[in-house]
Structure 1
Amino acid sequence: MKYIQDYTVILKKRGTQEWTHNMNSFNDNLSKILEGNIRFNYQINDKHTLGMKYQPNKQLSPDGSRETYTHVTTDNQLYDEIYSTANNYTNDDWGHEINAYYNGIVGTANIDFNIDYFQNGSREYSNVKELSEKYENRNVHSIGDVKNRLVAGKLIVSLPLGKGTLAVGSEVTYTHRNDDYLNEENYVPTSYSKLEEINAAGFAEYSQNFPWGDWSVGVRYEQDKFGHFENNQHIDEQSRTFDNVFPHLSFSTKWGNIQTQLSYTAKTVRPSYQQLSNNVSYSDRFTQQKGTPTLRPTIIHDLSLAAVWKWLQLSLSYSQTKNWILYWGELTEEDGSQTMLSYRNWNKSIPTFSAFLSVSPKIGCWSPMIGIGVKNNGLQ
């Protein structure tokens, strides 16, 4: 896959001085992926089926380069002109994905069981050369070494109850990540991080069909334990446990030729390991970046209405988002010359309203689609 990007960024910072960085960058990246797939399915009889899939994958010689020209001013006076090149080479380990499943009927109960295993790793070598018109040149070498492992299992048992169906189940996920960053020149400190997470969930859902519509109601309980280690030392203040309850409810019915569905869901979006990592990486002589181990998961409450009439579709949604994660910059020097980029949770709940209308009539052998939508949030 070939990836080319040409862009301009203007960054303004204000400390005791006002700094402006006008950056023009050109990125060129190339990656090739080798994948395989081995699978089998076996039907024991009419009531029992099992199978397995194994998928190895590897990126072949992924590399990339970036050229950046930066015009820097302080209080509208020229501070420096910097030309930098960054060349990256990544040595990827073989990735391995394994999935096994069982589906069967025991008495009146339907059993669905899945288990997954995943692992991968990469070692990225980066060389950044900065040529300064007024100050010292820099040659920055860094290595980022990442290894990931995941094991997950999910069990769902569905059985008739009254005139409807009850589904109960459990889901457990364990992830382990080693994330090391080494800088030869020590412009940023070398760090060795380990992140471990165990997520356990139990859930139940009951659904029933009525002459006037179909109902479904359920609840999910999750406990998430997150452990953070630096140089093999457990960091208590960055290791936390979250307990959450997520209900959901849906109702669908028909009004003549109009099919409608009203639903409410509560869900979470957890920060990525990159966002949680405490490693500091080098961007340029003015900017460093890192993750934030104390990030809280984002919680979303969503109320949606959908309606379909022939070739006309309408969807309306109102949501409240708590602990939204945003990219954040903080000055690390009083004059504003140095910046640390990281992440933080927005401390206000964000309301969002969206409406989308699409038309997809069939005209002869053609099926054109036209859509229009609006989305508004209360982020200020």
Structure 2
Amino acid sequence: MTKLYKSFSWLFIFLSAISFAANAQTTGRLNGKLIDATNSKPLDFATIILLNPNNQIIKTAQTDASGSFRMDAIAFGTYSLKISYVGYNPIIRPTTFDAAHTVLSLGSIKMALSKTSVLKEVTVQAKKNTIQLGIDRKSFNVEQSLVSQGGSATDLLSNVPSVSVDIDGNVSLRGSSSVRILIDGKPSLLGGSSIADVLQSIPASSIETIELITNPSSKYDPEGQSGIINIVLKKNSRRGLNGNVSITGGLPNTFNTNVALAYQNKNVNLYGNYSHRYGQRSGSGFSNRTNFRRLSSGADTTFTFNQNSSNTRNFTGDVFKVGMDYNIGEKTTVGVSSNVNLRKRDGGDNGLTQGIGQFGNLNSSIDRNNSEYEKGNNYDFNFDFSHKFKKPQEELTSNISFGRGMEDETQNFNTNTYNYVRTPSSLNNLIQQNLTDGNFRNWNLQLDYTNPLTKTSKLELGYRTTLSRNASDFDADTLNNFGNFVNDPRISTNFVYDEKIHAVYGNYQKQLGNFGVQAGLRAEQALINTALLDSNKTFNQNYFRIYPSVFLTQKFTGEQTLQLSYTRRVNRPRDRQIIPFLDRSDALNYRTGNPSLRPEDVHSFELSYAKYWATTTLTSSAYYRQTNGAIQRITSSYDNTGIQLTRFENVARAITSGLELIGRTEITNKWNATANLNFYNTSVKGDPSLGLADNSGFAWNGNVTTNFPLPFNISGQARFDYQAPQVIAQGKTRTNYGLDAGLRYDFLAKKVASISLNARDIFKTRRFGSITSDPTFYNVTDRRFSSRQVNLTFAYRFGRTLDQMNKKKDRKEEQRDQTPDEPTGGN
């Protein structure tokens, strides 16, 4: 751990040294902001190209979400700056850099729509940066992630800075698994399904970008302890007819396909996307647990369980997205879209557990053979409306979305327990079948209004209602001595979760020179009712809360920005955290939910700093997060036979404070590196009623990604990540690290085709384990999948702009006009 810590520290020193060395050279830089000449709306992802007098490309860039762009480390000389954007007239400006002109600030550049509203053919295309770093958010471009191609959304998230994914597919942001995950800005596609299962079924090829907001303002849903992860599925943004196809094959047993087709003209944007994914994963693990037990007579009856297991999982997923945007006029747009997710999962696990007595004698053994099959689907329908007023940037938007889905699962447990202490030895056989029928639905009603009061101030107002219902019927049947399955009412559960959230918000922004302030309030009324239909028990949580947010931002000279922010957030327990179904798939480790869980109350403070050098960007954030009523996994004795029960409980509070650093540097014109370090301390306040003592400790994680060019149109990417042990309620997790790498070869005219080869977890080092204890037990676990995966992907892009299509049409009409008329003969 110490060597890796030093290595990451030296890496940041190395990146900074490169940056300062570059600044010492005779170079210049330029920056600007691109806006629409009519409504002053920022134009994102516009192409910026710097050409030398021989018309050769020297540098390229793209505007970010705010329309801003910058180019650094420009050698002294004379150039032409070319700016182009779909449907707008291109802009070409001469520029010169010398000792007297090292910085060129272009300010706001207004682009006008072309008269024909079509895009002239672009002969040069610039690649988007892998990651765009802002002081309050990060945007990760999927297309440039070579190591994730051919994988799932889960694989993709594990390669995003600040994000980690455990062996069960649970996602964490800055070390916290309480993160809000959205798809296209909405929770409707996830519904009441297992988030891990949905993410595993979505191919990475169907995703455009991943956005991270670690401390969202009052405008956003306050759900999620550590922030928001928004997964943006692909949608057409180019005019004309265009599309792309890709196909992936890999080991072990991976097959993915993706097809996208879209057409856009001045008034209509039609788009559709289909992705199929099949993957297989196998894994193994062990658990060594010592139970401390002393009888009333004083006799010590300590015993140990050593468990080894193996498992296999097969995943199949199909994802569809179709939609249409229609411009009613110049300022009004309506859109309809639908997402469909179909998935299946099957597999099994086998395990052998040996019970060892105090003197090393074999007391018992448990042979487990389980299988499962699950199928599920989600679909949603969305209606979006947008109207721009005469005043620039004044806008009204609304969304109505409805989502629905189901999950059916069948589990078969076959457990043989041999007891060698009794004379004669005895065998107990348990055969159990679990049938799960889950259904859910979700409504989202949202209205947002933005009014720029002056050139330096803005007011945002909004309303949102979400209505969710999740019904889960767990039916557990046990095989009796007569060979018949009989329902076991002790562990069967019919559970209903009903949630209604009504919210209004107001957000005000004011810029005072280089100082900016943003303050907001979000008021929410939560009506949450859960019910156990079998026992007629109900649990109600109805509460009203105010969620404030404050952001203070100061810009300094030398491309520096400092921001201080505070937000209040909430994390509501859902799914398996609250469903009280007793999972007995492991004969010695039972799991269940807790319907009495309360929502976490989160107070988050963050001090962020961003600095831009000629070739390097550095963002740093010092954060403090206090979670009252923190939800933790708690393990306790189930009975006196050695069985343990894990369930979720609220503890008094948990406090996490840390420092995160993200840096990106352009080592050369085509070679760059991005590194991320996160140091944090976690303390969990104990609870005597749960047998929990206070626990605290320091942890850190880091990763580095580098993109580099190779000869013959080949580009490469490598990524290394490391997670140090992390504090949990009853112990700590174990070290986890791994290396991924990928290559891509671009070919054909304009590089419209590519072949990619990547490998994940090359040295098979990734594992997930923990060490937990209390006065009654000490447990060491280790689990891992055969995570080394090798994928080969072929991708092809095709399409024509409207200008090209019109030219072809004009040529046909011209040829028709030049063809002589046929003679009209007669008798």
Alignment TM-score, normalising by the size of structure 2: 0.43
Corresponding residue number in structure 1 for 2:659: 355
Counterpart of 2:599 in structure 1: which amino acid?
Answer: P
Q: 2:626 aligns with which of 316, 320, 330?
A: 320
Aligned partners of 2:493 and 2:534 also within 8 Å: no
- Contact (CA 8 Å) 2:514, 2:556: kept in 1 or not? no
Alignment partners' CA distance in 2, 1:20 and 1:212: 64
- Listed one character per residue, the Cα deviations across residues 152-194 of structure 1 (whole Å, up to 9, x for unaligned) are 1111122244652111111111111111111111564322111
**Which residue of 357, 364, 372 maps to 1:80?**
364
Pair 1:9 & 2:287 matched: yes
CA shift for structure 1 position 330: 3.0
Partner of 2:241: none
Distance of aligned partners of 1:19 and 1:327 in 2 relative to their CA distance in 1, 3 Å threshold: farther
> Aligned to 1:371, which of 655, 671, 676?
676
- Structure 1 window deviating more from structure 2 (104-113 vs 292-301): it is 104-113
For residues 15 and 170 of structure 1, the distance between their equivalents in structure 2, rounded to whole angstroms, comes to: 57
Residue 331 of structure 1 corresponds to 637
Deviations 1:235-277 (A, max 9, x none): 34x2221222111111222221222222111111111222111
Is the CA contact 1:14–1:336 (under 8 Å) kept in the aligned structure 2?
Answer: no
Structure 1 residues 249 and 68, CA gap change in structure 2 (3 angstroms): same
Asked if the contact 1:19–1:336 (Cα under 8 Å) also holds between the matched residues in 2, the reply is no
Measured in 2, the distance between the counterparts of 1:225 and 1:117 equals 19
2:414 matched residue in structure 1: 129
Deviation at 1:225?
1.1
1:225 aligns with 2:544: no
- In structure 2, what is the Cα distance between the partners aligned to 1:315 and 1:189? 46
CA–CA distance in structure 2, aligned partners of residues 317 and 173 of structure 1: 30
Report the AA paired with residue 410 of structure 2.
Y
Query: For 2:435, which of 139, 143, 147 is the aligned residue?
Result: 143
1:57 aligns with 2:361: no
Question: How much has 1:322 moved relative to structure 2?
Answer: 1.3
TM-superposed deviation, 1:350: 2.1
Q: 1:233 to 1:107 in 2, by over 3 A?
A: farther
Aligned match of 2:316: 32
| Residue equivalent to 2:378 | 95
Deviates more, 1:103-112 or 1:292-301: 103-112
Which of residues 549, 566, 573 is equivalent to 1:271?
Answer: 573
Where relative contact order (Cα < 8 A, 6+ residues apart) is larger, the structure is 2
Match of 1:70 in 2: 353
What is the distance in 2 between the residues matched to 1:321 and 1:336? 36
Any gaps of 5 or more consecutive residues in structure 1? none
Amino acid at match of 1:114: N
Higher alpha-carbon Rg: 2
Pairwise CA distance, 1:31: 1.0
Amino acid corresponding to residue 317 of structure 2 in structure 1: I
Give matches, 1:204-353, under 5 Å. Answer: 204-231=506-533, 235-236=537-538, 238-257=539-558, 258-309=560-611, 310=613, 311=616, 312-333=618-639, 335=640, 337-347=642-652, 349-353=653-657
- d(CA) in 1 for partners of 2:660, 2:587: 45
- 299 and 18 in structure 1: CA distance in 2 versus 1, 3 angstrom threshold: farther
What is the rounded CA distance, in whole Å, between the counterparts of 1:210 and 1:45 in structure 2?
Answer: 36
Q: Which has the higher strand share?
A: 1
Say whether the 8 Å CA contact 1:15–1:336 is kept in structure 2.
no
- Please give the alpha-carbon distance, in whole angstroms, between the structure 2 residues aligned to 1:12 and 1:246: 45
Distance of 2:284 and 2:290 partners within structure 1: 20
Change (3 A) 1:219 1:32: same
Greater shift after overlay, 131-140 or 217-226?
131-140
**Other structure's SS at 1:137 match:** strand
Does the CA contact (< 8 Å) of 1:90 and 1:122 recur in 2? yes
Q: Which protein has the bigger helix share?
A: 2
Deviation at 1:35, TM superposition (A): 1.8
CA 1:228–1:234: 2 relative to 1, 3 Å: farther
Match 2:387 to one of 84, 104, 113: 104
Question: 1:14 offset after TM fit, Å?
Answer: 4.2
**Paired letter, 1:157:** Y
User: Is the contact made by 1:131 and 1:137 (CA closer than 8 Å) also made in structure 2?
Assistant: yes
3-state DSSP class of the match of 1:117?
strand
Contact conserved, 1:13 with 1:336, CA < 8 A, in 2? no
Cα distance in 2, alignment partners of residues 357 and 278 from structure 1: 40
More deviation, 297-306/18-27:
18-27
CA contact (8 A) 2:592 2:647 kept: yes
Q: Is the 8 A contact 1:318 1:354 kept in 2?
A: yes
CA distance in structure 1 between the aligned counterparts of 2:303 and 2:432, rounded to whole angstroms: 23
TM-score after normalising by structure 1:
0.92
Q: Where does 1:184-195 land on structure 2 (aligned, <5 Å)?
A: 184-185=477-478, 186=487, 188-195=490-497
Distance 1:352 1:284, change over 3 A: closer
Q: Deviation of residue 234 (structure 1)?
A: 5.4
- What SS class does the counterpart of residue 584 from structure 2 fall into? strand
Is 1:196 equivalent to 2:481 in the alignment? no
The superposition leaves residues 282-305 of structure 1 with CA deviations (integer Å, 9 ceiling, x where unpaired) of 233344322111111112211111
* TM-aligned CA deviation for residue 19 of structure 1: 4.6
> Residues 25 and 170 from structure 1, CA distance in 2 versus in 1: closer, same or farther, beyond 3 angstroms?
same
- Find the aligned partners of 2:364 and 2:449 in 1 and give their Cα distance: 66
1:18–1:336 CA contact under 8 A, matched in 2: no
CA gap 1:194/1:105 in 2 versus in 1, 3 angstroms: same
Deviation at 1:210, TM superposition (A): 1.4
CA RMSD of aligned residues (A): 2.1
1:34, distance to aligned residue in structure 2 (A): 1.3
Q: C-alpha separation between the residues in 2 aligned to 1:114 and 1:70? A: 53
Q: What's the CA shift string for 1:316-375, capped at 9, x where partnerless?
A: 111211111111223232x2533332110112x222211123332212121112333311
Alpha carbons 1:128, 1:140 under 8 Å: kept? yes
- Residue 96 of structure 1 aligns with an amino acid whose one-letter code is Y
Give unmatched runs, 5+ long, in structure 2.
1-278, 295-300, 420-426, 479-486, 685-694, 696-827
Query: Letter of the aligned partner of 1:68 in structure 2?
Result: G
Aligned length: 375
Cα contact 2:526–2:542 (8 A) shared by 1: yes
> Counterparts of 2:291 and 2:522 in 1: how far apart (Å)?
44
